[in-house]
Amino acid sequence: MKNLMSDAEVIQRVFDHIDNNTTDLGDTVWHAPVENYMSDAHFADELEMFRRLPTVFCPSAALSEPGSYVARTTAGVPILAVRGDDGKVRAFYNSCRHRGMALAEGMGKVGAFVCRYHAWAYGLDGRLKHVSGEEGFPGLDMDKHGLIEVVAEERGGLVFVTQKDPIAEGALAAVPDILKPEQEVFDYHQFEDASNWKLVSEAAMEGYHIKPLHTKSFYPYGYDNLNVVETYGPNSRLVFPFRRVEKLRDVPPAERRADGVLTYVYHLFPNTRVSMVSSHHQLIIIEPVAPNRSRTEFFRLTPPMRNGRQVDMAKTLKDAEFVKDTGQMEDREAACAIQEGLKTEANGHFTFGRYEKSAVHFHQHLEAHLERIRSATR
């Protein structure tokens, strides 16, 4: 993986763009067929791709100690991830081996997973430990009735899962060290939108829309169509500068820091982004539900400690609510409006221009990965 630019290098490029009224540009234009946002067959290929790539499941911070777990549906499949007594993260199909009941929901901490249907119990390592009324199951091999495991890997402060034989490394091919061990999850929630998952993802892949869409939310504090964009593997990193970056003009370049003056947005292929906002971080995973429906898994984390100072939670919560209730709501509404507009047949394709470098990069890799899926099933 190529090295990403330092804070000082990014800030200098931002100043260059401000002074020259420019932004980072891509090398090409991409045309995405509108059918790809509506087709059941295309959506089925995407789901198969998701299941055969390492995809982000949750932050490592959500599994901070033995017994802590996250249970959610990814690529249409219920998965349960838990940290074992040995410190290792494991992931399983969230399905009891007796009659298939889900064993857990949301986030929590347990000593064992006990099915609420018939009380079969499983250890944190997935082994079947107890069968209620075991005399009713003569010949049952306990060792063969443990939870079915899927691949789980931790990297960069994130937990990745791979459900089936992988077709590629996906985001893992070039994932940077993003989240830190001391960060804590202070909020986790989900919401659904009447929009294809790609439309929700694309909303954060460029700053070309900042002034028209976020006129009263983000734009008064930032710039319109001014981004620094880096690509690495199938992933990308965008920088959204605040106007207060100007206060660093007279600071020696080697001493310039991004805290409070830049937002870094890491896009991890295919459906995840980590946004490093002023006083908190967000892990946002956009799950495909149907061609015209998506679900967002939203983890909010405290920022890393800076210079040994404790986190100011009042400031963190205020910052988090502003971002969630303003700009992100506007992005969601735009994605739903686009999905509704597909019914008009006004467009045969969507055009992604040179201002939308990260989105073009995403679509190039998406098409390449989908072609691998199609080739494997021919």
Indicate the fold that domain 55-165 takes in CATH: Rieske Iron-sulfur Protein (2.102.10)
**Spatial distance between the Cα atoms of 184 and 282, rounded to a whole number of angstroms:** 11
Alpha helices in the chain (DSSP H): 7-20, 40-51, 197-202, 210-213, 313-325, 327-341, 357-377
- CATH class, range 7-52+171-377: alpha beta
Percent of the chain exceeding pLDDT 70 equals 93
**In degrees to the nearest 10, what's the CA dihedral of 101, 107, 108, 114?**
10
Q: Which tens digits make up the pLDDT trace of 277-288? A: 878 899 999 999
Q: What is the mean pLDDT of residues 244-257?
A: 96
DSSP-assigned letter for residue 147: P
User: Which pLDDT score is estimated for 311?
Assistant: 64
**In degrees to the nearest 10, what's the CA dihedral of 9, 15, 21, 26?**
10
Q: Which tens digits make up the pLDDT trace of 122-162? A: 999 999 999 999 999 999 999 999 999 999 999 999 999 99
Segments making up each domain of the chain, as ranges? 7-52+171-377, 55-165
Q: What is the mean pLDDT of residues 297-326?
A: 71
User: Which pLDDT score is estimated for 320?
Assistant: 62
φ and ψ at residue 298, rounded to 5 degrees: -120, 105
Q: Which residue has better confidence, 321 or 74? A: 74
Residue 321 above 90 pLDDT? no
Q: Which tens digits make up the pLDDT trace of 18-53? A: 999 999 999 999 999 999 999 999 999 999 999 999
User: Which pLDDT score is estimated for 317?
Assistant: 65
Which of the four pLDDT bands, split at 50, 70 and 90, describes residue 181? Answer: confident
